[in-house]
Amino acid sequence: MSSRSSKAGKRTHKIIFLGDSGVGKTCIIEKFATNRFEECFNVL
């Protein structure tokens, strides 16, 4: 994970999600990004 401070004092973090297919990586990202959780998610 890397962290960087901008001039305004706001920090930017980069996180990598690793795991097998179908374990919920996209669901956890959606939860934090949009604050909603889709119980039924269509996998491509």
Q: Rounded CA gap, 42 and 22, in Å?
A: 10
pLDDT value of position 6 = 53
Which structure tokens are listed for 23? 């374990």
Q: Rounded CA gap, 19 and 12, in Å?
A: 23
pLDDT value of position 1 = 54
pLDDT value of position 20 = 94
Every domain of the chain and the residues it spans:
2-34
pLDDT value of position 40 = 67
pLDDT value of position 18 = 95
DSSP per residue, 13-37 = EE------TTSSHHHHHHHHHHS--
pTM score, two decimals?
Answer: 0.53
pLDDT tens digits, the chain, 44 residues: what are they?
555 655 678 889 999 999 998 888 888 888 888 988 777 667 66
- Which residue type sits at 10? K
Q: Rounded CA gap, 41 and 7, in Å?
A: 39
